[in-house]
Amino acid sequence: MNPITGCMIVRNERPVILRRLNGLRKHCKELAVIDQCSTDGTWEIVRDNADFAFQLPALGIADPYKNLLYGVGSCEWVLSMDADEEVSPALGAALPKLIESEEEVFWLERVDMVNGVRIPILGKDWQPRLFKRGKIRYSGQAHTHPEIGTPRAVLFPDAPIVHQRTFADVVRRNQARDGLGKDVAAKQADYIRKVEGFLREAGRL
């Protein structure tokens, strides 16, 4: 098993959480999960299946808890995932080689999939998801890239994280972000409109 701590911050993900945890477990020695006071039974699944499980107040976004979570566990490497994401076969195959390299942070492309269709709206969405513990630090602000604390940070193409959702999931997550401010709401609403239009053109909605 790869000496990696798989990390996830979740809220109300009961339909998918066990599948996502089991999928991440295939690639990581241990799992560390923060549940933001789920009300649908997600916490009980997390508690029973993660090596390190914490229940903390719901904030509406994951970012303020990231630095805390990334300090949990015994492995040198961290793989950060969301509950609506999957490790692609290519990334799973590459992980052993990546953690043996001289690099310390890997920016991975996140491929956006809705209703089984790749959505190109966001373009190339690179995110620093595989890293040595302590090499990145988040500000706590929503949807911002972290400060990278090493020059050994590289893009690793052709081994993506798959952002796998249904259109209903997209709408549900938008509703869960109510109260985060007009700018966030406007951006999310615009994204939903574009996704809906793209899916209708593709005949998948």
What pLDDT band is residue 182 in, cutting at 50, 70 and 90?
confident
Tell me what the mean pLDDT of segment 17-35 comes to: 97
Condensed to tens digits (0 to 9), the pLDDT of residues 39-54 reads 999 999 999 999 999 9
pTM of this structure = 0.91
Torsion of CA 93, 96, 98, 102, to 10 degrees: -160
List, in sequence order, every beta strand (DSSP E) within the chain: 4-10, 30-35, 52-55, 77-80, 85-87, 105-114, 117-118, 126-132, 136-137, 147-148, 153-165
CATH number belonging to the domain at 4-109+116-161, selected among 3.90.550.10, 1.10.357.10, 3.90.1150.10, 3.10.20.30: 3.90.550.10
Which tokens in the block code for residue 197?
Answer: 């239009």
Q: Domain ranges in the chain?
A: 4-109+116-161, 167-202
**Helix/strand/coil percent split, the chain, to 5:** 30, 30, 40
pLDDT of residue 180: 58
User: Would you say residue 89 has pLDDT above 90?
Assistant: yes
What pLDDT band is residue 86 in, cutting at 50, 70 and 90?
very high
